[in-house]
Chains A and B, each alone.
Chain A
């Protein structure tokens, strides 16, 4: 609630500088402490306000603690509250002084005014001083039995606070049982709701360690309790209703009659003004009917209207939260929303994140009957001034085309995009046309006629350029100028920065050569020469591979470069259905907005502890990369599974199947390790020059262990290293280096900083034994120096590792 006084922020000029004022305050407070003159409370109020305002802006006012306590003897409730607030904030740092406050708080817990009893009890619970919990037990017990519901309501949450300070004290006093009693018997709904929240949290946390707790947690979703809560649903506040509905959604009714009873009882909740209640009800309905396909579908129909209303009302943030849920449902059952596509049209001024969701939904709901309208609408957005949206729209059109409805008309439109002559539109369209041709080779005739007219000078984006080059190679016989266009591109080889494009160029010129040898021969020669001299490892290797292949046997080379291709039937889905189901189970939570299940962003191992990053200063945890890698792995697996009927021979061919587009070099570098691992190709591409030490490609180490080890182990090597000028240039963000090192099986655990200073933490593991190397690497890009500290489980290997690390580092940017 309040930034603590300890924060180091220097107050801005308009704010009091602190010291002097605080001691003034101290004096004034002391004078007032004993005074009983009329008007004292007014002056106290002014002083208290000052103290609180200093506290709020981050000035340390803990030194007036004893004076504040002395002044706390008052019947003025506003004064009391300010005093409670102050005490709650500083008690932790002044445990001895906090003891002083116990006395008056305990006295207030027995005040005749229930308001004061409640406030005192709440403050008592917020002291957070473990030694003082014994003083909390008595008032809490009394509070739970208080005649006034306000006090009971505060006491119920108080139990939860106590549990978090000292779980054992909480159980010793048998508070959970008392809470359960109140849950089932209290006449006041808010008390019941607070008991429920507290019990859910307590048993939820205990369940993993104690069987009894697990039983208790199950008991909360037993029929009697669920029915009891449902029957009182209308008494609960809107927030408590959300809690109850969430709980009920975990209950599995034994038969369908019960399901219908519950749904009938709660149907009117869909008309509640609070969107959170409506969403909670929707979740419950969806969960209840999961096993009944027909009813489940009816539920979709029923919830459509309330969802659309929620999307169109309320603040943009609220409607975004709802829209994300609508997105999830639309993705699950697009056909049920096919007739509502008009609701998904974008408004001109909507922010990007909303438009993006809407575009995805529009893509999903397209079917035979509405494709025409949807594509027309999407084409409007393609002309949008907002470039990211224009790009998304074009991709959406492409996706719909790949879904087979009325491809003919859509291809026409895509080709019209090319006529708009805007670079980004052309770029996106080229990529799409390429994908389209891979799925519908029969359209090649129309497309090629248009593509042939595009000058490669107007295409700059690597992806688009690669797509264009792919088409030049693939359809060399249909395009008059193909060999000459390729020749022109090869002449500019030196200026081509993207290795992906260079790789495509090599392959395309090979293909072209087999189709139109006399015209291409010269180009092929210069391409191979340029490729062999290329600095990039993959480009060089491929050039060499082609060269030797041609030397070996021309017809074999032809069959490698120009195999008969089957049209791609399905493009790999990026998210597995299992993950999608997980997200659906977590409906009405953050998971839906992030579009990933909660373990991916809340579990410690996936997330990297905040405390760790805090210790290391402003560092971000390199987890994102690991996650990306994991996804790519999924992608690879599913693609290979889908297409393994195709003839595959080499690693290169595998990549072809991934992207059907001859080798997708961009991926190659990152995924090499994964592929090697998957197919047991060994360490053929092992980057390590020293064969003495082999590293584990898939080493894992969680941040906590890292942190522990880092503390325990001595520094075994500390060195200065240097980075190549290219490396310095590539080091715009630490991520670039993180990716580079990963190729060398050195994994990043945390990285941060801004140019010119970066700080990264790496780890690596021996391939054959679980022996770790930990590295702290501080890089200064202005001096091109890296300071490296290495700690190792096995100190004898640290020299070898250090050499390996340095050689990996020195290669950074050489790609």
Chain B
């Protein structure tokens, strides 16, 4: 970032913005931060640093640094979470983007929001749903009328602190719809001998609700505990079929956790619009969508033969999209000739790898890459090449690596309207690494 973007930094310093004695060196802090963190350009620098008597926590989001400065022993997890939530809030106001331009164009709004979300270093209300009721860019635009406007501004203040903080009353939709996405990312670390060193799935249930009134929702999944509990209650054996054991689950604040713990059902009054209902993690019984079988032969000091076979092991009717396989090659690669049975592959010198891209990869098929790599011979370095792992990216729609399925999604509202429910599944690669 250059100097021009300085005002793009947002300081949500606990107190720093307020306490005047200390404000005097806010300018110094900007300098300190620039000097110690931005100019070092060291990648992988610790996001929590002590400079002078202050601790700087920072995050980089697109081309913006967000810095928190504290002089006390602060709660770091809370501070980072606050920044993440604040950025989400800004994004929802700016229409998705959070970057230098968005900040430049919206700084007055940012001031307004900062004023509301944090007071004197204490977090206040960060829910976009509620804030949008009274922080609008329009404001009140009738200078001559003394009567209150139609906008529900006075009411909004009740909402600011209400018990169901995440939903306002009196919402009306012509068409009542619920969208539910299960998004999983599968992480794999496989040894060069083909054994799985580490493998897990982190999943999210994302929802988008366009529902009138104050609806009650109930979600049933094919997770083990939930099913067992249900069969216990209904005193009949669990239906045969796959059940999934979740290692750990966390829920959005709207979910009634007491009820989850007693009945093991996920019931909630949803916020309006988009939100993350739950997160979970699974380590047992993961279905890996792809198997990768690499063989790399170093023939002498200047030649290598690389063979990579990729098998898709999900259902034949499904397909993966945007498959990218990065096959590492040594730095001193001079020439490559690559053949692939599907997609396209070429040598990427800046990343030292063969970049193999397959737009659409059907299930139950396999694809191979075979390449000859010629190396520049170097005299000094006789040490063997330390191979980074093969890395893979993909998305498989309608597939869950955990096997998790939605069994039902019930919507209940006093007026008894009909709703349309949409459910989607997608599995993405998290860090999918195969050593070779």
Q: List A residues at the B interface (Cβ < 8 Å).
A: 1-4, 6-9, 12, 14-15, 38, 40-41, 49, 52-53, 56-58, 74-79, 81-82, 85, 92, 112-115, 118-119, 122, 126, 128, 148-151, 153-154, 157, 160-161, 164, 188-191, 193-194, 197, 235, 237-239, 242-243, 246, 267-269, 271-276, 278-280, 305-306, 308-309, 312-318, 320-322, 324-325, 342-343, 345, 347-349, 351-353, 377, 380, 383-385, 420-422, 586, 588-594, 598, 601-602, 607-610, 613-614, 620-621
Contacts and interface: CB of A to CB of B under 8 A. Distances in A.
A118 B157 contact: yes
Interface in B108-145: 108, 111-112, 114-115, 119-120, 122-126, 134, 137, 139-144
Contact of A75 (B58, B111, B143): B143
B320 interface: no
B111 A273 contact: no
Contacts of A316: 47
A586 B13 CA distance: 21
Nearest to B140: A77
B232 interface: no
16 contacts: A3-B30, A14-B4, A77-B140, A161-B18, A272-B251, A273-B276, A280-B78, A308-B248, A316-B47, A318-B84, A342-B197, A345-B198, A347-B431, A347-B433, A590-B74, A610-B54
| A-B pairs, 8 with minimum CB distance | A351-B44, A268-B257, A1-B17, A78-B139, A7-B27, A239-B123, A305-B248, A276-B78
The B interface, classified by DSSP as helix, strand, loop or mixed, is mixed
B23 A4 contact: yes
Given A2-B17, A77-B139, A308-B247, 10 more contacts: A41-B141, A150-B161, A238-B253, A246-B75, A309-B281, A320-B46, A321-B77, A347-B431, A589-B76, A614-B28
Nearest to A91: B20
A601 B80 contact: no
A151 B158 CA distance: 10
B112 A74 contact: no
B279 A309 contact: yes
Given A7-B27, A342-B197, A593 B48 contact: yes
B187 to A, nearest CB: 7
Contacts of B189: 345, 347
B258 interface: yes
Interface of B: 2-4, 6-7, 11-13, 17-20, 23-28, 30, 43-48, 50, 52-55, 57-59, 70-78, 80-82, 84, 107-108, 111-112, 114-115, 119-120, 122-126, 134, 137, 139-144, 146, 148, 153-154, 156-158, 160-161, 163, 165, 187, 189, 197-198, 200, 202, 247-253, 257-258, 260-261, 276, 278-281, 382-383, 386, 388-389, 391, 431, 433, 435
A590 B50 CA distance: 10
B125 A271 contact: no
B383 A352 contact: no
Given A242-B78, A272-B250, A352 B143 contact: no
A608 B54 CA distance: 11
A115 B59 contact: no
Nearest to A388: B44
Contacts of A271: 249-251, 257, 260
Given A276-B81, A314-B84, A4 B197 contact: no
A315 B27 CA distance: 28
Nearest to A380: B435
B77 A41 contact: no
A268 B77 contact: no
B77 A279 contact: yes
B73 A315 contact: no
B197 A384 contact: no
B123 to A, nearest CB: 4
Contacts of B54: 610
Given A77-B139, A115-B134, A153-B124, A384 B250 contact: no
A313 B134 contact: no
A147 B358 CA distance: 63
Contact of A52 (B107, B253, B383, B433): B107
